[in-house]
Structures are given as C-alpha cells and as structure tokens.
Chains A and B, each alone.
Chain A
Amino acid sequence: MNAPCAGRGALIEARDITKSFGQTPALRGASVAVAEGEILAVMGPSGSGKSTLLHCLAGIFPPDSGEVWFDGRRLDTLNEAERTRLRRTAFGFVFQFGNLVPELTAADNVALPLLLQRQRRKAAYRQAAQWLDKLGLGDKGARRTGELSGGEAQRVAVARALALGPRLLFADEPTGSLDSLSGEKVMDLLTGLAREQGITVVLVTHDVRVAAYADREVMVRDGVVTADAGTVRT
C-alpha cells in the first residue's frame, strides 16, 4: 500500500496485490505503476517479493487478490491461454541466466521465437542478424551460445527479447551472473535500445549500480512497495 501509482498514463499497474506460496506471503498489498516508455528499477533485499511482483505483473502467475492492469485492461482476470498470448506478443523477458538453448547458435536462439510466431524463416533470420548486430554480436551469429562468454550470451538473450518488438520488457537480475564490465555493457545496450525503441522496462535488481540505469526506482520490503524516488512520467 502507499505505493506509487501513475493512474492514467500507466502502461502497466499492480493495485494492492497479494500473493502467497503455501503459508508464506510474498506480496502483501503491493502497488506500482509504470508509465509507457519508462524504465523502472524494482529493488529490495533477497526474499522481499520483488521477483514475485515481476511475475504477477508479467502474468506468469495471477495474484491471490488485487488487480493487474496492462494498457487499460485487466490482466489478472485473463485465462492462462490469453495471458500466454499476451506474453508472446507484447512482453519480452531477460532473466539472470539467459535461458538460451546452448546447442543452438546465437542466430537460432534469436530467430526461434520469431519462427514460433510463424514468421518466414528468411525474414526471421534477417531480423535476428540485425538485432545481434545492434547488440555488438554481428560476428557471433553462427556460434553456439554455449560457447559464448556470459556477457555475450546475455546480450543474445537481450536480442531475443527485443527482436519480438515488445511494448514491455521484464528483466530479472539481468546482470546477476556477470562481472562488472560485462554487466555494464549489457545494461548500456539494454537501456539504450529500450529508450531508442520506446520500450517500457521493469528491471528487478538488488544492485544499485544496475538500478542507476533506470529512470526511477521503487523499493520492495516485506512484500510491499515502500519507497518511490519520484513521480511517474506521463
């Protein structure tokens, strides 16, 4: 409660949501709103509920109570198939461990979700090559991702997420497994490209240096969004 809310103008918003796992409450009335084009860092100590908040916002699982709104419509009341479709078409994801297929090449990994969206093979690979190039990996398309460095693999994960043209990108500890310099490169590219493309970003991190790439940050403590560093841009 007492959380920052953008009200009108928010692309995504959680309103007083709760979520428990068994007897353990993870969210206890969390509210947050993110304006279109904004990069929001969600910070908090381990176990504070910040990743659960991201999962509820992304429709990965519904909250026990409260509401989640995306682009003016309720997300939490959609059925699983509708939420999956939304995640495929409007959301992009980058996780701490890129979740790439290590046996496939970088180009395959980026093209795969495009092919699943029934894009033609040639167009999908052309698009994949363009995104790999933007991420500074133009010469790595034919390499298996299992052979890439951690930083390069994470940039492939960013390329894969952005290639789908999402309106909203969720990044959960995207540099958590990287050294400082590789992490900086990932964040520079991720936030630079998101701003260039007007993509809204929800960035979960416990690292203040990563949060400093955002426009604004909120704190999650004990399942509640407790601190806000400013107002939502509308």
Chain B
Amino acid sequence: MSVALTLLGLLEREPSYGYDLKRDYDSYFVRGKPLSFGQVYTTLARLARDGKAVAGPPEHGDGPERKRYWITETGTAEVDAWLSRPAEPEPHLQPVLFAKVLLALMLGRPAGRYLDAQRKAHLKRMRELTRLKSAGSLADTLLADYGLFHLEADLRWIDITAARLSELREMARTR
C-alpha cells in the first residue's frame, strides 16, 4: 500500500499535524504494524518537496514545536488519479483496495464506482488467464489457476465490500 498517497488522502480530508496523521493512519489503515514518526515526517517532507503538500509555520504550544500540513492542488489531483486508477490485478491486493475504498468514503468520492472499475480490471485479467489455460500446457493451466483463484478471492472481497458500503461510510464518518 502507498503510505504517501494514503497520508495525502488524509490531508485532503483536513489539514493535519504529523501526529494526527500517524494516529489516523494507524487507526484506519493498519492492524498491528503502526507507522513510525520518522516515516511520517520523512513522507511529509517528500510530499512538500514535490509540491503535493505545504507546511505551515512552526507553532508553539504546550509541547514541542509542530507544523500543520495542507494538501495542494497538485496533491489533490494525485489522490484523485490514484483513487480512480484500478490497481494492477495481482494477488494480495486487499490493503490497497481497502485504503482506496475507505479514503474515497472519507472524501465523499464515489467508492462504488472505484470498486466497479477494479472489478472490471480483475475480470479482464481473469479472461486473459482463462484464454491462457485453453491454449496452453498443463503447467500454464496450473499457473493460471493459481492466479484465477486469487483474483476470485479479491472479487469476492470486492462484492462483499460493495454490499457493505453504507455501513463502511458510517464508520468512516463517525470514527
């Protein structure tokens, strides 16, 4: 999963401090493997360098000095393009798809449409593998089967997630 794009998506939701981004990222997108603060700040620095986010002036509060980050137009366009583009159909995509769906719901984007696009990309790949099976050797068939079963599992996840979008939208709103 792309940490940079997910953080950028969270910034589109609202301008945030690094600490808040880490907290939201850990709470929504990972289970048991939190981001390090170092990774958060390095990523934010890179996003700022590339013009996708900007840092505000240092703020002094009770604790250490901190900066709030805003997404730029370039950053918003990057998030939009990432969400709209189906991931390359390959095994073990779930974290990427989950991040896209949840971010889309947080940002009021058409999560159902993204799932449909991903479904289409998966089915296209399944058609290619099925043709490979029909024309190929037994070894090709077995390799294609491996891919087909994994893509099928992804598709079942896509379908069940599509059926749960309302529930998930509620969760994205309330947490």
Chain A residues within 8 Å of B, Cβ to Cβ: 45, 184, 188, 192, 208-209, 211-215, 217, 219, 226-227, 229
Smallest Cβ-Cβ distance to A184: which chain B residue: B133
Nearest chain B CB to A46's CB is how many angstroms away? 12
Nearest residue (CB) in B for A206 is B159
Interface status of B97 (Cβ within 8 A of chain A): no
Q: How many residues of B contact A (CB 8 A)?
A: 18
Whether A229 touches B120, Cβ cut-off 8 Å, given contacts A45-B159, A192-B134, A213-B130, is yes
Would you call B124 an interface residue if the criterion is a C-beta within 8 Å of the partner chain's C-beta atoms?
A: yes
B113 nearest in chain A by CB position: A227
Not counting A208-B152, A209-B126, A229-B124, a sample of 11 additional A-B residue pairs whose C-beta atoms are within 8 angstroms of each other reads: A45-B163, A208-B123, A208-B155, A209-B148, A209-B152, A211-B126, A212-B129, A212-B130, A212-B148, A226-B116, A229-B123
Are the CB atoms of B134 and A188 closer together than 8 Å?
yes
17 pairs, CB–CB < 8 Å, chain A vs chain B = A45-B163, A184-B133, A188-B134, A192-B134, A208-B122, A208-B123, A208-B126, A209-B126, A209-B130, A211-B123, A212-B126, A212-B129, A217-B123, A227-B116, A227-B119, A227-B120, A229-B124
How far apart are the CA atoms of A226 and B163 in the complex, in Å?
Answer: 14
Chain A residues with CB under 8 A of B152: 208-209
In the bound assembly, the distance between CA atoms of A227 and B119 in angstroms comes to: 10
C-alpha gap A210/B129 in the complex (Å): 12
Kindly list chain A residues whose C-beta atoms are within 8 Å of the C-beta of B159: 45
Q: Which residues of B contact A208 (CB under 8 A)?
A: 122-123, 126, 151-152, 155
Residues of B close to A209: CB separation below 8 A? 126, 130, 148, 152
Complex: A226 Cα to B126 Cα, angstroms: 20
Which residues from chain A contact B123 at a C-beta distance below 8 Å? Answer: 208, 211-212, 217, 229
Q: In the complex, A209 Cα to B148 Cα: how many Å?
A: 7
Is chain A's binding surface mostly helix, strand, loop or mixed?
mixed
The distance in angstroms between the C-alpha atoms of A192 and B151, with both chains bound, is: 23
* Ranked 7 nearest A-B pairs via Cβ: A212-B126, A212-B130, A229-B120, A212-B127, A208-B155, A227-B116, A208-B152
CA distance A214 to B133 in the complex (A): 14
Q: How far is the CA of A219 from the CA of B113 in the complex (A)?
A: 13
Residues in B with CB closer than 8 Å to A192 are: 134
**Complex Cα–Cα for A217 and B130 (A):** 14
Q: What distance in Å separates the Cβ of A30 from its nearest Cβ neighbour in chain B?
A: 17
Expressed in whole angstroms, the Cα–Cα distance for A212 and B126 within the complex equals 6
Closest Cβ–Cβ distance, residue B57 to chain A (whole Å): 48
Which residues of B have CB within 8 Å of A229? 120, 123-124
Q: Least Cβ distance of A225 to chain B in Å?
A: 13
Q: A185 CB to closest chain B CB, in angstroms?
A: 11
The docked-state distance in angstroms from the alpha carbon of A217 to that of B124 is 10
Q: Which of B116, B120, B123 has the most CB of A within 10 A?
A: B123
Minimum distance in angstroms from B81 CB to a CB of chain A = 22
Cβ distance B66 to chain A, nearest Cβ, rounded Å: 45
Alpha-carbon separation in the docked complex, A215 to B126 (Å): 11
Query: Which residues from chain A contact B116 at a C-beta distance below 8 Å?
Result: 219, 226-227
Q: For the complex, what is the distance from the CA of A227 to the CA of B120, rounded to whole Å?
A: 9
User: For residue B129, which residues in chain A have a CB less than 8 angstroms away from its CB?
Assistant: 212
Once the chains bind, are A214 and B127 in contact (CB under 8 Å)? yes
CB-based nearest A residue for B134:
A188
